[in-house]
Homo-oligomer: A and B are copies of this chain.
Amino acid sequence: MRGVGWWRWWAANSRASHSSYSSPSLPLLGPNLPEVWSFPYPSISRPQSSASLQTARVMDGKSIARSIRSGIACEVNRMKEATGKSPGLALVLVGKRRDSQTFVRVKLKACCEVGITTLVEELPEECMEDELLRVVSRLNGDPSVHGIIVQLPLPKHINEEKILDVISPEKDVDGFHPLNMGNLAMKGREPLFIPCAPKSCIELLLRSNVEIIGKRAVVIGRSKIVGLPTSLLLQRHHATVSTVHAFTRNPEQITREADILVADIGIPNIVRGNWLKPGAVVVDMGTNQVKDSSGFRITGDVYYEEAIKVASAVTPVPGGVGPITISMLLSNTLDSAKRALRFTTK
Contact = CB atoms under 8 A, between A and B. Distances in A.
Contact of A213 (B10, B183, B247, B270): B247
Given A182-B182, A254-B240, A246 B187 contact: no
Contact of A228 (B180, B181, B186, B213): B186
Interface in A1-29: 10
Interface stretch (A36-44, A74-82, A83-91): A36-44
A222 B235 contact: yes
Contacts of A223: 187
Q: Count chain B CB atoms within 10 A of each CB in A37, A235, A238 and give the residue with the most.
A: A37
A204 B320 CA distance: 44
A167 interface: no
Q: Is the interface of A mostly helix, strand, loop or mixed?
A: loop
Interface in A231-277: 232, 235, 238-250, 254, 265-267, 270
A15 to B, nearest CB: 14
A240 B235 contact: no
A183 B178 contact: yes
A189 interface: yes
Nearest to A43: B250
B182 A177 contact: yes
Nearest to A238: B247
A158 B272 CA distance: 52
A240 B245 contact: yes
Contact of A242 (B178, B228, B242): B242
A68 interface: no
Contacts of A99: none
Contact of A240 (B178, B232, B247): B247
Nearest to A212: B247
Copies per complex?
Answer: 2
Contact of A270 (B37, B186, B228, B246): B37
Contacts of A46: 249
A104 interface: no
A244 B249 contact: no
Nearest to A44: B249
A185 interface: yes
A179 interface: yes
Contact of A179 (B33, B37, B178, B224): B178
A43 B248 CA distance: 11
Nearest to A183: B178
A327 to B, nearest CB: 24
28 contacts: A33-B247, A35-B245, A35-B246, A37-B246, A37-B265, A37-B267, A37-B270, A43-B250, A44-B250, A46-B249, A161-B189, A177-B182, A178-B178, A178-B186, A179-B179, A179-B182, A182-B183, A185-B228, A185-B232, A187-B223, A187-B228, A189-B224, A213-B247, A214-B248, A214-B249, A240-B254, A241-B242, A242-B243
Given A10-B247, A187-B222, 5 more contacts: A178-B185, A178-B186, A182-B182, A214-B247, A240-B244
Pairs of residues from A and B, 7 with the lowest C-beta to C-beta distance, nearest first = A182-B182, A178-B182, A181-B182, A242-B242, A238-B247, A240-B248, A35-B246
